Structure 1
Amino acid sequence: MSEYYEPQINISSPETHNTMGVIVVLKEKVDGEILRQVVEELRERFPYFYVKVGRRGGGQTTEENRAGGQPTEASKNGLTTEPADLIPIPNDLPMTTRNTWEPIKLNSAESNYHLAAWKYENKRLAFEIDHALTDGAGIMPYIKSAMYLYLSKATGKTFNSEGFRLPGDTIPESETGDPFKDIDFTEVEEPFYQKKPITDFLRLVNEQDYEKRVFYLKLPEEQIMQYCRDKDGSPNVFFSVMLAKAARRYKTNDEKPVTVSICTDRKAILGNHDNYRMFAGDCRLDFPKNRDLTDITKACTIARGQVMLQIQPENALYEIKQMKQMQQTPPAPDISLASICVSYVTGRSFGPLDPYIEEIYVVTALSKITDILCEITCINHSFFIALMQPFSSEEYYNCFLKELDEAGIHYEELSSEPLRICGI
């Protein structure tokens, strides 16, 4: 049986692909050959991302591994009598780097059976990966290192390497091992407060329109942070309130509460900021129909209070203890949890690389867990939003822009496109 902290690679379904990615827009056109060189050089420093699916248990470990995680004749013929864990194992084949934005399937011949892949198009490039392997906090050091090596080669300049994880560095155990190995969970008790989930909430779907779409926005960091200070908010809370207000505007007559899931990083809450593994949690906000959202300060104060109650270390400790005891597993990708999900990957700078980067976004394959997904990033004194939805209509998106207008928030609409991200 896998350790509790090992990736659960099977958390996907035929309809829902558990993948995520980071998009970086540079100021100059991407050189694909340099990018390919960089991707292979980083294998030494980030071996845990250069993997394929293997099997452990069920009597097929070695043979299944040689098959690149694909079913062998033995397993097809029913000779495997015990269930096997799907685990990541090293993949010596090159990680693919393709000059197209069209998606491919990870864990397939197209991707050399890797669980990650790169792509580029004009000035932008993207890294996409099985979300079971890592989360936004875990993937960003890899992106920063890739940009460091790429821009060093592309510009011929020598940048200060402090803060970057580069080939030749020692890989610390805190980065790859059990992120909570020094914590004694035997005395951990149930936390003082646990929010009860709301199961019947407002849905933001269109039953006649299934074309997933993403909208890209740029907002001034200084104005957003000042607004948060004035309104007792934070970026997560502020955008949660704006998106909830947009939902009310979009579905005025719906009596159900709007629910917002804000992603959290249990590793960081418990003091580990290095580990690459996926230990994302969430806290839930609810906005009942009878709550007046016209007073944004009051709405932010209520929402922030809900957040603070749920992100205490005692909550994270108890959740990890449950995972260790196998009482809690990540939700299946087809279970609906909230109307909207908000995720903010912190880290406002790539240091000396900032002048060469125009935009950065996190994107995630939409699932039934949430209807609207808002991924927030920040670089070069600007917030960047990737607003993803499971339909092509711009009606909800325009409601969100209207809320920003009424709040006096400046924004720049950069682009929109169908959501194209690797499946698995």
Structure 2
Amino acid sequence: MSKEKYFVTSGDAMMLYATLGNSYTVRLRLRLDSPVDKDAMRKAIDKTSARYPYLCVTLRKNDSEIYYEQNDKPVALINSLERITLNSPETNDHIWAVCYEDCDFCLDFYHGISDGTGINYLLATLLYYYFSELYGSIDSRGIRTLEDPIRKEEIIDPLDEMPVIDLKSLPAQPSVSAVNMMKSCCLNPAEGKGLHLKIKIPEQSFIPFTKAHDASPGVMVSVFIARAVEKICKGHTEPLIGRYIVNARPMLGKPDTYHNCLSSVTLHYDERVRKMPLETQCTVYRGKVFVQSDEDRVRRSMGISGSVGKMINGLPTLEDKIRTSMKLSEDLYNSSTYFVSYVGKWKFPQLGEHIKEFWTVTPARSFPVAEIAAVNGTIFVSMLQPFSEHILYDAFIEELKTNSVVFYECGSEPITIANININNQ
């Protein structure tokens, strides 16, 4: 009996084809308030899998493309926090899996099929069923459960529905090379997939501070990183450019899709901004986020992204798709000094009260990335970097100290995101 196939959508195409060789997986690592109960977690995974059949797939390839194939095997539950390989026998050929050890719980998933917002829908369902097994009735409002029908709005990629733009008619964009810390400071590469440095900041300390400076947590972290890089890379001649990742679903009127649906805000830290006091810098950055997150502007940007995805999917061979996607991604990465991503505050307090830590771990490319999560009154900042020195981390900590922000250092560890195997047809 043939299995149902799902083809790569316009919104996922570049992310998927550009990262095939880079293991672009994400690990959401949570520390719960009690050791993980294996039997309860197994039941929760099975119920969650039934609610998200469109995420229970195997990634396959042939000479012309990547596609997904329905996977009816159970999603893996692994009693270890070591690096795993998704889409392999170890994980029953699934593109997501759950790992655990004592109170630590990890959800590993492949970024080529979904982004942080999309996978958080699944995470909320998983934790809902898990805590329901342990504690009984849990408020399910806003959480997708088996009682809710699967709606087409979850499955449709909004970029597939956007009109095709003639990419050749767009004005050519000048090539920009941003300051790169690895090169500018002659830093040593970290082993493996990079280094993860962790900081906890109580909301009661940080939120009043950010509001007083006309900022949000994501904007403030972006400003602090820019200030830190400026102090480290003194005399740099390339522009210092940050990228703040934005969830584009609200602007497209498609809040429910699981597909990658991300836009980015470009944050230049130029000489004019450098001379400003912190509060003014925050106002400038927040203004940039506001302007570049305008609905019409995001729709235009996402329309271009969708057309790029359609172009990639239309290329004749798998090699063509990979080469084109990697070139486009390299142009973006070369013009970036750092990335900041914040999916927003955890929306389910009854689940959140059992979450003691929440770290988002992504690959460290050629530049540092700050991933931010907020749950149970605490902001968790994951500093993910490709170099072994703590030079940026130390400068960021100094910004917190200088501005009297309460924080707790939580150590460092190697990035242990999953590998991913691509199965042949």
Report the TM range for the smaller structure's normalisation. 0.7 to 0.9
Larger helix proportion, structure 1 or 2? Answer: 2
- The answer to whether the 8 A contact 1:24-1:357 is kept is yes
- Residue in 2 that maps onto 1:109: 89
- The answer to whether the 8 A contact 2:24-2:111 is kept is yes
- The answer to whether the 8 A contact 1:257-1:289 is kept is no
- Residue in 2 that maps onto 1:18: 24
Q: 2:157 aligned with 1:162, yes or no?
A: no
- The answer to whether the 8 A contact 2:12-2:112 is kept is no
* Aligned with 1:339 (options 331, 337, 340): 337
- The answer to whether the 8 A contact 2:85-2:91 is kept is yes
Paired letter, 1:412: Y
**SS at the partner of 1:44?**
helix
- Residue in 2 that maps onto 1:392: 388
* Aligned with 2:10 (options 4, 10, 33): 4
Shift of 1:420: 0.6
Shift of 1:7: 4.9
Q: Closer, same or farther in 2 for the Cα pair 1:324/1:160, shift >3 Å?
A: closer
Shift of 1:99: 1.3
Aligned counterparts of 1:103 and 1:197: Cα–Cα separation in 2: 36
* Aligned with 1:359 (options 357, 360, 366): 357
* Aligned with 2:127 (options 147, 157, 160): 147
Paired letter, 1:91: N
Aligned residue runs from structure 1 range 128-277, under 5 A: 128-155=108-135, 157-179=136-158, 198-204=176-182, 207-211=187-191, 212-277=194-259
**SS at the partner of 1:315?**
helix
Aligned counterparts of 1:239 and 1:220: Cα–Cα separation in 2: 14
Unaligned runs of 5+ in 2: 1-6, 313-324, 421-425
Q: 2:70 aligned with 1:90, yes or no?
A: yes
- Residue in 2 that maps onto 1:310: 292
Aligned counterparts of 1:180 and 1:336: Cα–Cα separation in 2: 25
**SS at the partner of 1:402?**
helix
* Structure 1 range deviating more: 408-417 or 327-336: 327-336
Paired letter, 1:381: G
Aligned counterparts of 1:347 and 1:98: Cα–Cα separation in 2: 28
- Residue in 1 that maps onto 2:4: none
Aligned counterparts of 1:86 and 1:366: Cα–Cα separation in 2: 24
TM-score by length of 2: 0.84
Unaligned runs of 5+ in 1: 59-82
Aligned counterparts of 1:321 and 1:179: Cα–Cα separation in 2: 10
Q: 2:52 aligned with 1:46, yes or no?
A: yes
Q: Closer, same or farther in 2 for the Cα pair 1:13/1:163, shift >3 Å?
A: closer
- The answer to whether the 8 A contact 2:247-2:343 is kept is no
Q: Closer, same or farther in 2 for the Cα pair 1:226/1:353, shift >3 Å?
A: same
**SS at the partner of 2:368?**
strand
* Aligned with 1:34 (options 31, 40, 45): 40
- Residue in 1 that maps onto 2:282: 300
Aligned counterparts of 1:159 and 1:201: Cα–Cα separation in 2: 48
> What RMSD over aligned residues (CA atoms) do the two structures have, in Å?
2.8
Shift of 1:315: 2.2
* Structure 1 range deviating more: 104-113 or 393-402: 104-113
Paired letter, 1:178: D
Q: Closer, same or farther in 2 for the Cα pair 1:423/1:181, shift >3 Å?
A: closer
TM-score by length of 1: 0.84
Shift of 1:50: 1.1
- Residue in 1 that maps onto 2:318: none
Q: Closer, same or farther in 2 for the Cα pair 1:319/1:194, shift >3 Å?
A: farther
- The answer to whether the 8 A contact 2:252-2:299 is kept is yes
Aligned counterparts of 2:87 and 2:50: Cα–Cα separation in 1: 21
Q: Closer, same or farther in 2 for the Cα pair 1:363/1:2, shift >3 Å?
A: closer
Paired letter, 2:347: S
- Residue in 2 that maps onto 1:415: 411
Aligned counterparts of 2:11 and 2:337: Cα–Cα separation in 1: 28
Paired letter, 2:79: N
Aligned counterparts of 2:248 and 2:235: Cα–Cα separation in 1: 37
**SS at the partner of 2:99?**
strand
Kindly indicate whether structure 1 or structure 2 has the higher relative contact order, using CA contacts under 8 Å at least 6 residues apart.
2
- The answer to whether the 8 A contact 1:245-1:293 is kept is no
* Structure 1 range deviating more: 195-204 or 314-323: 195-204
* Structure 1 range deviating more: 271-280 or 208-217: 208-217
Shift of 1:6: 5.2
* Structure 1 range deviating more: 301-310 or 276-285: 301-310
Q: Closer, same or farther in 2 for the Cα pair 1:271/1:223, shift >3 Å?
A: farther
**SS at the partner of 2:124?**
helix
- The answer to whether the 8 A contact 1:204-1:339 is kept is no
- Residue in 2 that maps onto 1:74: none
- The answer to whether the 8 A contact 2:11-2:160 is kept is no
- Residue in 2 that maps onto 1:374: 370
Q: Closer, same or farther in 2 for the Cα pair 1:3/1:277, shift >3 Å?
A: closer
